[in-house]
Amino acid sequence: SQQGEEDPQALSIQEGENATMNCSYKTSINNLQWYRQNSGRGLVHLILIRSNEREKHSGRLRVTLDTSKKSSSLLITASRAADTASYFCATVAGGTSYGKLTFGQGTILTVHP
Amino acid sequence: NAGVTQTPKFQVLKTGQSMTLQCAQDMNHEYMSWYRQDPGMGLRLIHYSVGAGITDQGEVPNGYNVSRSTTEDFPLRLLSAAPSQTSVYFCASSWGLEASYEQYFGPGTRLTVT
């Protein structure tokens, strides 16, 4: 079963606007990762946030993690048409499941020029 | 570096046929894994390996076999293809001995089973 559930399933915005995607998960985690997938391509790693971190930044990306609510959000600021892609969160469970990365079903982001 | 490479890019099989999806990486990564991606879904883990000679099952291992004889290669074998195995398959690798690090993905193999 999917560990991460993402919301919304699809998001359509204009260039220059901010895009926020949310991810919820069910069990305790070691870390949470965000990936981007352009149509017909493999996934590209964006950012990793560990369970003892609350916020991380990378360029125009900002990720937050709330372990009490078992949720994370990805904010893309000043979006561009090139940001059009599917975005996935993925979790590594705590305990002894370090070999397994579990993905959510993704958010499809469309940025209109 | 070529990164993670996968062959073939596309494949059509008939039900009952077997085949091997190839995956190779040139980054000396210990951790390698196979996922399948179905429409409207995220990736689901099939098998993974934390080094040569060590493999383990993921979420959806039935119908698939793996082995890891070298650090570089991690082939995925479909023993007797079924239409339910129609999917896009991705191989990934990372430098750690677990999934807790940035994963590098290959471009994928699109498999259709008729």
What is the pLDDT at residue B42?
83
Min Cα distance B83 → chain A (Å) is 21
Q: Residue A77 in 3-state DSSP?
A: coil
Contacts of B102 in chain A (CB under 8 A): 33, 45, 48
Residues of B in Cβ contact (< 8 Å) with A4: 42
Report the residue from A45, A92, A104 with minimal CB separation from B42. A104
Q: Where does B52-100 show beta strands of DSSP type E?
A: 54-57, 64-66, 76-78, 87-94
- Chain B positions touching A58 (Cβ under 8 A) are none
For residue A48, give the nearest of B41, B43, B102 by CB distance.
Answer: B102
Q: What is the pLDDT of residue A1?
A: 44
Q: Which of A90, A99, A102 lies nearest to residue B98, judging by beta carbons?
A: A99
**Residue A100 pLDDT:** 79
Give the phi and the psi of residue A87 in degrees, each rounded to 5: -120, 130
Residues of A in contact with B29 (CB under 8 A): none
Q: What is the residue-level pLDDT of chain B in tens, covering all 114 positions?
A: 789 999 999 999 999 999 999 999 999 999 999 999 998 778 999 999 989 999 999 999 999 999 999 999 999 999 999 999 999 999 999 987 666 788 999 999 999 999
How much is the pLDDT for B96? 74
pLDDT in tens for each of the 113 residues of chain A? 446 688 899 999 999 999 999 999 998 888 899 999 999 899 999 999 999 999 999 999 999 999 999 999 999 999 999 999 999 999 987 665 566 788 999 999 999 99
* Amino acid A42: pLDDT: 92
The answer to whether the Cβ–Cβ distance between A41 and B43 falls below 8 Å is: no
Shortest Cα–Cα distance, A16 to chain B (Å): 27
pLDDT at res. A101: 84
pLDDT value for A83: 98
Rounded to whole angstroms, the maximal C-alpha distance in chain B is 38
Q: CA gyration radius for chain A?
A: 13
**Which amino acid, residue A104?**
G
Q: Is A59 on the interface with B (CB under 8 A)?
A: no
| Residues contacting residue B3 through CB under 8 Å, at least 6 positions apart | B25, B26, B27, B104, B106
- CA nearest to B50, candidates B62, B33, B27, B36: B33
Q: Select from A23, A97, A29 the least CA-distant residue to B42.
A: A23
Q: Are strands B109-113 and B64-66 parallel, antiparallel or unpaired?
A: unpaired
User: Following DSSP, what letter does each residue of A45-67 receive, concatenated?
Assistant: EEEEEETT--EEEETTEEEEEET
